[in-house]
């Protein structure tokens, strides 16, 4: 009787442990499938034209997505120029000065902002910038992406600055440095690795964003002609091409997906390496 | 180098402090701008429809009918399907990674799960259209109809596209969120809990079931709500596989539409003022719901893993 119960306990123990491991394997299957498809189908689409040519009109074979690659780089660049400095400043405020109710509110806002659907940001930027400029533009797209980056950069900056030991701050202040000098040359510098990691991860995150670009940067079949003009991007092209019935466009969509995933993964890995080097060297 | 005079130093300090303060205020301002913009944009639809906007069951821009019930229905059902699949799997992953996996497995597997979160939504959509949807149409839907076809949920034509495909793709996308946060929560459970159970002669599973999981219950609930928030707001992948037809049908084989996906679909083509306003109002509903879910989730997770920053970092 007792032996039987023990047997059952042992069995359910084994069973559940195996199930937990199986769940992990099962969840990783789609990852494998996605990476495999993107790599194989994407590689078939990539050639010299893909990186140098403009997209062809519907029905014509060939062509490339060079403008979308450049466009994505421009949009991400714009977003970084706006989002990263602001995010770092806010992070500094939270880590170095932020106390009391306001800091709590900022921190909370920040956390909540990471959960806001990115399409909402698209609507809002449309309602403010696009309506005011009376046209879709690279600027509007960049602002939308920057808004998504902002809370990510802020939180990592704050966390990284908090890891800097207080003795460093005290030493600097004791030597007569002013507070901004201390923060800038001592605290920020020793946390640099972590901040770079966080910023690069934020860049990787927004590079693939599509929803906020749909009604801000829109898309374009041509090279970009100015920041106040609509601009092509890889994610939007993947979306529009995947939802057309044309073989040729599907092929290009897979190519674009491969380039985009490669960009995102390389940035993410670079982020980790940057963090490790700066963290371990000291 | 000459030392700056105390006065100019103080001036520099206040400037620096002021700048960072402004940046921080900007963050709060931003959320306020978002809220105000959404409210202002939906004014027209609100005066037109009032609460009928939420209860109306017909969304037909051509005839000026904007009832968002089908969208709300699509959003809730697709997210529930996602949770149904993702929660058990994510808990399995969290338990495996926090309690069972040998050390050399933990880091690479956690990395792979995080990688799942790094893949852009639109790439999930692409994969969904060309890999998942055919699979659902040719294998999963016929199978479900054969085995569970007597239920109203599994009847009708096999499109491949539709509620089921959207739910599955959402599940894949929220697994990293739920599993990562639950893993953090499980890791925050004190070892003494485990040791006490093991000392009483419990097996490892019994330890997990009776000591570890109950201890982290509210944190795990928080993780699930965080995942739900993501599923509700997820746009691109869903738009690409859900079929984009605003209708209410009990069958998960049917085409559907979510709040986020209808905005992605119709916003840039809405030339009619009222249509645009109705879409912004749908956005406002989405914003409020995700906001509340996020606040709730944070509060729950914070309670278990004291330091809020410990939750998002590894």
- The candidate with the shortest Cα–Cα distance to A162, out of A183, A147, A185, A177, is A183
Domain range summary for chain B, segments of one domain joined by +: 47-312
Judge whether A105 is closer than 8 Å to chain B, CB to CB.
yes
Nearest to A238 by CA among B155, B119, B203: B119
- In percent, the amount of chain A with pLDDT more than 70 equals 97
Q: What is the pLDDT of residues B147-174, one digit of tens each?
A: 988 888 888 888 999 999 999 999 999 9
DSSP three-state, residue B101: coil
pLDDT at A4: 80
SS3 B248: coil
- A-chain CB neighbours of B131 within 8 Å are 33-34, 37
Higher pLDDT, A81 or B62: A81
Name the class of domain B47-312.
mainly alpha
B17-43 pLDDT, tens digit each: 889 999 999 999 999 999 999 999 999
Does the beta-carbon distance from B298 to A112 stay under 8 Å?
A: yes
Helix (H, G, I), strand (E, B) or coil at B47: helix
CB contact under 8 A, B127 and A250: no
Q: Which residue did the predictor score with more confidence, B9 or B146?
A: B146
Query: Does the interface ipTM go beyond 0.90?
Result: yes
- pLDDT score recorded for residue B313: 34
Give the pLDDT band of residue A146 (cuts 50, 70, 90): very high
Does the pLDDT at position B82 exceed 90? yes
- Chain A, 117 to 136: residues with Cβ < 8 Å from chain B are 117-124, 126-128
Q: Are A65 and A253 in contact (CB under 8 A)?
A: no
DSSP code for B151? S
Residue B314 above 90 pLDDT?
no
More reliable by pLDDT, A225 or A81:
A81
Which residues of chain B neighbour A34 with C-beta distances below 8 Å?
119, 123-124, 127, 131
Instruction: Tell me what pLDDT residue B310 has.
Output: 40
How confident is the model at residue A226, as a pLDDT? 85
d(CA A166, CA A236): 46
Q: Which residues pair with B65 in a beta bridge?
A: B60
User: Residues with Cβ < 8 Å from B103, sequence gap 6 or more?
Assistant: none
Q: To the nearest whole percent, how much of chain B has pLDDT over 90?
A: 63
Shortest alpha-carbon distance between residue B135 and chain A (Å): 12
Q: What is the mean pLDDT of residues A146-172?
A: 92
Residue B43, CA distances (Å) to B34, B39, B66 in order: 14, 6, 14
B-interface mutation test, from A6, A124, A249, most B Cβ less than 10 A away? A124
Q: How confident is the model at residue B111 (pLDDT cuts 50, 70, 90)?
A: confident
pLDDT at site B5: 57
Listed by number, the residues of chain B in 89-108 with a beta carbon closer than 8 Å to a beta carbon of chain A are: 89-93, 95-97, 99-101
Q: Do B264 and A162 touch (CB under 8 A)?
A: no
Please give the pLDDT value at position B306.
53
Is the pLDDT at B207 greater than 50, yes or no?
Answer: yes
What is the C-alpha radius of gyration for chain A, rounded to an integer number of angstroms? 24
Residue A185 has pLDDT above 80, yes or no: yes
The answer on pLDDT for B107 being more than 90 is: no
Give the pLDDT of residue A99: 81
Q: Which residues of B touch A214 (CB under 8 A)?
A: 264, 267-268
Residue A275's pLDDT band, with cuts at 50, 70 and 90, is: confident
Cβ atoms of B287 and B38 within 8 Å: the answer is yes
Considering chain A, what is the average pLDDT of its residues?
A: 90
Answer left, alpha or beta for residue B59, where phi above 0 means left and psi between -120 and 50 means alpha: beta
- Would you state the pLDDT for residue A112? 84
Q: How far apart are CA A276 and CA A110, in angstroms?
A: 26
Nearest 10 degrees: Cα torsion A197, A201, A203, A207 = 150
Q: Which of residues 47-86 of B touch A (CB under 8 A)?
A: none
**CA dist., res. A140 & res. A145, Å (int):** 9
Read off the pLDDT band of A233 (50, 70, 90).
very high
Q: Cα–Cα distance between B224 and A49 in angstroms, integer? A: 45
């Amino acid at each position: 009787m007792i032996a039987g119960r023990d047997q059952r306990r042992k069995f359910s123990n084994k069973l559940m442990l195996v199930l937990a491991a199986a769940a992990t394997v099962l969840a990783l299957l789609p990852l494998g499938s996605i990476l495999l498809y993107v790599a194989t189908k994407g590689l078939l689409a990539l050639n010299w034209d893909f990186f140098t040519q403009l997209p062809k009109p519907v029905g014509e074979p060939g062509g490339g997505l060079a403008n979308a690659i450049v466009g994505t780089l421009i949009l991400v660049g714009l977003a970084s120029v706006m989002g990263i400095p602001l995010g770092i400043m806010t992070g500094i405020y939270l880590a170095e000065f932020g106390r009391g109710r306001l800091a709590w509110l900022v921190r909370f806002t920040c956390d909540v902002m990471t959960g806001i659907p990115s399409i909402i940001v698209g609507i809002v930027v449309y309602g403010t910038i696009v309506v005011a400029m009376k046209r879709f533009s690279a600027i509007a797209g960049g602002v939308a992406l920057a808004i998504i980056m902002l809370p990510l950069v802020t939180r990592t900056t704050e966390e990284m600055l908090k890891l800097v030991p207080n003795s460093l701050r005290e030493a600097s202040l004791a030597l007569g440095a002013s507070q901004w000098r201390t923060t800038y040359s001592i605290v920020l510098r020793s946390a640099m690795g972590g901040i770079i990691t966080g910023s690069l991860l934020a860049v990787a995150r927004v590079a693939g964003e599509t929803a906020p670009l749909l009604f801000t940067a829109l898309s374009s079949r041509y090279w970009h002609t100015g920041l106040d003009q609509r601009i092509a991007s890889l994610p939007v092209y993947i979306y529009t091409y995947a939802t057309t019935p044309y073989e040729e466009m599907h092929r290009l969509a897979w190519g674009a997906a491969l380039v985009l995933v490669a960009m995102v993964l390389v940035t993410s890995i670079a982020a980790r390496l940057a963090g490790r080097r700066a963290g371990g060297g000291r | 180098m000459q030392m700056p005079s105390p006065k100019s130093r103080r001036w520099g300090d206040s400037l620096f402090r002021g700048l960072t303060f402004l940046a921080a205020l900007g963050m709060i301002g931003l959320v306020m701008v978002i809220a105000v913009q959404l409210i202002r944009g939906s004014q027209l639809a609100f005066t037109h429809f009032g609460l009928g906007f939420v209860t109306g069951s017909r969304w037909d821009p051509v005839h000026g009918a904007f009832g968002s019930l089908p969208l709300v229905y699509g959003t809730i059902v697709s997210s529930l399907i996602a949770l149904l699949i993702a929660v058990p799997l994510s808990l399995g992953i969290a338990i495996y990674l926090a309690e069972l996996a040998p050390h050399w497995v933990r880091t690479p597997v956690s990395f792979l799960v995080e990688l799942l979160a790094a893949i852009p939504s639109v790439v999930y959509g692409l994969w969904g259209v060309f890999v998942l949807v055919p699979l659902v149409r040719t294998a999963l839907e016929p199978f479900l109809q054969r085995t569970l076809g007597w239920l109203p949920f599994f009847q009708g034509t096999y499109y491949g596209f539709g509620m089921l495909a959207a739910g599955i793709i959402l599940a894949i996308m929220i697994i990293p969120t739920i599993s990562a946060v639950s893993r953090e929560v499980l890791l925050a459970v004190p070892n003494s809990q485990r040791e006490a159970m093991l000392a009483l002669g419990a097996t490892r599973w019994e330890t997990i079931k009776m000591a570890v999981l109950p201890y982290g219950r509210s944190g795990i609930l928080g993780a699930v709500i965080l995942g739900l928030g993501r599923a509700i707001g997820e746009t691109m992948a869903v738009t690409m596989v859900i079929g984009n037809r605003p209708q209410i049908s009990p069958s998960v084989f049917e085409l559907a539409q979510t709040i986020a996906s209808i905005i992605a679909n119709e916003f840039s083509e809405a030339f009619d003022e009222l249509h645009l306003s109705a879409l912004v109002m749908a956005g406002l509903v989405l914003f409020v719901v995700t906001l509340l879910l996020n606040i709730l989730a944070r509060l729950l997770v914070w309670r278990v893993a004291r330091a809020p920053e410990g939750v998002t970092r590894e």
